[in-house]
Amino acid sequence: MIMATTVLCLLALVAASQAALPYGLRPQIYYGQIAAKGQFPYQVSIAKKTKVWMTDQCGGTIINENYVLTSALCLQRTTDIEDLVVIAGTIDTSNMTYAYKVEKVINHPLVNFGTKQNDIALLKLKKSFDKVPIIQSVALPTKNDSFKIGDVAIVSGWGRNWGAAPQDRQLRYASLVISDLHECKKIYENKAYKVHDTNVCAYDRGTVVSPCIGDEGGPLTVNGKLVGIVSWGNWNYYHCSTFGDFPSVYTSVFSYLGWIKENAV
């Protein structure tokens, strides 16, 4: 009873602190707007069927009829692929109309869970995705494509949307801006993890809009093409953004096009 009372008091304090902030600065959703049905047909949720769904969920992106591209860090604690389920074709993770079992997990051979380098993995499905309009693959960039500092990027996922709240059942998205990689490296140089040349950084400077815990593995797109995979940021249990001071860090899809082509077949 004491614990329950304490939790209720904490929730009341959080709500009060949000209401006290100006509308544009309220951390009501770290991640942005609720997506419309079919808006992100390439987005999937990766869950563990033996545990609470939303606790262990992270994101992924459909790249062809049999493969999902995601974060290796997302799968780090997976000991049995039979526990993994890929949920597609929905903006609400309670809707499991299209749920797929995983046949194989392919981590990048040089992934380093300690430094978060080469944070990329593929999931091969036991059964191909259903051919329906709400399930589609994303376009990968080619070597001739490019993006630059200041380009608008779209990120989406089911991660936490404020403070220590649980992950969200509703898919959310936000517009961010590609930031300077050199500047991003400097920002994180005294932090636990370093930014590498195989990363992309993006943020909405001066706002609380940011991916959060549970969004790992999800897509970052520019002009409809997948340029990044949500990897990490200045996140902890209580916050996921410091008003844009720390960009979120993504695995650069450009850096791994050869590896993806060799393994997603």
Express each pLDDT in 116-130 by its tens digit: 999 999 999 999 999
Taking Cα atoms as reference points, which of 135, 3, 153, 133 lies closest to residue 60?
A: 135
All CATH 2.40.10.10 domain ranges in the chain, comma separated: 30-35+139-254, 43-137+257-263
DSSP strand pairing (121-125 vs 152-157): unpaired
Over the chain, what is the mean pLDDT?
83
Which residue's structure tokens are 């999800």?
A: 218
State percent of the chain over pLDDT 70. 79
Domain range 30-35+139-254, CATH class: mainly beta
Residue type, 161: N
Q: What residues does 33 pair with on adjacent strands? A: 173
pTM of the model: 0.84
CATH match of 43-137+257-263 with 3.50.50.60? no
How many other CB atoms are found less than 10 A from the CB of residue 1? 5
Taking Cα atoms as reference points, which of 176, 198, 159 lies closest to residue 246?
A: 176
State percent of the chain over pLDDT 90. 58
Distance CA 231, CA 117 (A): 9
Which residue's structure tokens are 């996921």?
A: 240
Express each pLDDT in 28-76 by its tens digit: 335 578 999 999 999 999 988 754 444 457 899 999 999 999 999 988 8
Express each pLDDT in 124-182 by its tens digit: 999 999 999 999 999 999 988 989 999 999 999 988 765 544 555 789 999 999 999 99
